[in-house]
Chains A and B, each alone.
Chain A
Amino acid sequence: EVQLVESGGGLVQPGRSLRLSCAASGFTFDDYAMHWVRQAPGKGLEWVSGISWKSGSIGYADSVKGRFIISRDKAKNSLYLQMNSLRAEDTALYYCAKGKGFHAFDIWGQGTMVTVSS
């Protein structure tokens, strides 16, 4: 069964850092682009970042560029999001998603909640 399981969310103060993880199973992880997509409470979806199948191409939304870093570990079948200088507006449910090409997301995890508040 193809599965993505996110972890690492929680309550963090503004300006602090947090690292999200996404464990993938049921498919050849290294063959696919992977993404992070977030959804603020009661709001719509926002693409955060994506990384191509061999980390050759990485992209970020303007809202997180310079603060967030995406990475992947083939040996651990895992995707990561290092989030630095967190702001209140980063509060959201963060989904890990498997890429269909680099332009669509065909498998989603259940998300991990990040709350930035003092």
Chain B
Amino acid sequence: QSALTQPPSASGSPGQSVTISCTGTSSDIGDYKYVSWYQQHPGKAPKLMIYEVSKRPSGVPDRFSGSKSGNTASLTVSGLQVEDEADYYCSSYANSLVFGGGTKLTVL
């Protein structure tokens, strides 16, 4: 159950796009279509933003999109807004569930 690998930080200016990567192995991301992304603001519970690689739950803006290529999944936030500044975590199924270490997104 090794953790997935995310960059510790990412940043962008309002209106720009930013992509956060999540790298796993052929045993998790590479083998399953069960990648999820969560947004967590300080002191708050996480919020589901993307599930099954690219599906958005009701209420999540379409500025958030997900994709996968090989063993790496990506979350793209387009048209960055100040309120997008938060920690983002990826998760994948691999006979159990595993998270990435998290990426702190800063909106400059």
Contact residues of A with B, CB < 8 Å?
35, 37, 44-47, 50, 59-62, 95, 100-106, 108-111
Contacts and interface: CB of A to CB of B under 8 A. Distances in A.
Contacts of A37: 46
Interface of B: 1, 3, 32, 34, 36, 38, 40, 45-48, 51-52, 57, 89, 91, 93, 96-102
Contacts, number: 64
Contacts of B100: 44
A108 B101 CA distance: 19
Given A44-B89, A47-B91, A62-B1, A105 B99 contact: no
B96 A61 contact: yes
26 contacts: A44-B89, A44-B100, A45-B40, A45-B46, A45-B89, A46-B99, A47-B97, A47-B99, A59-B97, A95-B46, A101-B51, A103-B32, A103-B34, A103-B36, A103-B93, A104-B36, A104-B51, A104-B52, A105-B36, A105-B38, A105-B46, A106-B48, A106-B57, A108-B46, A110-B45, A111-B45
